[in-house]
Amino acid sequence: MIGLGDIEKRFGDNLVLKGVSVAIAEGSVTALVGPSGGGKSTLLRCINLLELPTSGTVRIGEDTLAFGPGHKVATRDIQRLRRQTGMVFQNFQLFPHRTAVENVMESLTVVLKWPQARARERAMSLLEKVGMAHKADAWPATLSGGQQQRVAIARALAPSPKVLLCDEPTSALDPELAQEVVDVLGKLASEGTTMVMATHDLRLASKIAREVVFLDAGVVVETGTAEQVFGNPQRERTKRFIATLRQEAAEAEK
């Protein structure tokens, strides 16, 4: 479904990703975990090319793009690959001048040129899925953080992407509101939605993810099932990181 081959990403002289290769199966949920600055959000953004890799290959479905010095990738090819993804950001990024349902409709009417009635029907069905149909005509400023993130998830799903990408989807929320988002993403996972999420939320990752990729300093330290990585990590660096996550989770619940 998704294949990342030998991905390198530089920001000037700073090498953030150092030859990362990851394979993600269709219908699976993969959590990218690691310390801040470890490269997980950058890797996530390389999947939908919000960040263009300095070198390496990105494959989604049947489409593969290669990157390297002196090799320019056409804008239309980037857009074709990006349209196969939906992105959920940590700070929601809803349009403040659009209602909840209008936010979800936006990509359908503007990008896909759907008629208003068809777009609204699709948007309402997705708001129903994330438990927000009763707030369809509400402005983002009147919604809680958890409610805004659920609308953002509906918006990302609107054009029926092949994969849903979530960048720290609960990090801006307190534990109670974060649980709303965890529940919605868990429901999507149970329905077979392919997801990749960068997160430090142990509750989210352990409940939803099937596979875990632990990144540190731009390299893959350990991969495995969620049960393996969280329950019996093999690398000492992974063990220290998981212990830190568990301590933070315990303190947040006090």
Residue 15 within any structural domain of the chain: yes
The pLDDT tens digits of the residues spanning 1-34 come to: 899 999 999 999 999 999 999 999 999 999 999 9
Which burial class, exposed, middle or buried, applies to 210 when counting CB atoms under 10 A from its CB (0-12, 13-18, 19+)?
A: middle
Q: What is the pTM of this model?
A: 0.93
Which token pair is 73? Answer: 């990738």
Per-residue pLDDT, averaged over 104-115, amounts to: 95
* Same domain (yes/no): 135, 203: no
Query: Which residues, in sequence order, are CB contacts of 38 under 8 Å at separation 6+?
Result: 215, 216, 217, 218
> d(Cα 12, Cα 176) in Å, to the nearest integer?
40
The last residue of one of the domains, among 131, 160, 189, is 160
- The DSSP bridge pattern shows strands 14-24 and 2-11 to be antiparallel
The answer to whether residues 110 and 168 belong to one domain is no
Q: Is residue 91 part of a domain?
A: no
pLDDT tens readout for residues 181-224 = 999 999 999 999 999 999 988 888 888 999 999 999 999 999 99
CA 170-44-65 angle, 5° bins: 155
Output the CA torsion sign for 211, 214, 219, 220: negative
How many structural domains does the chain have?
2
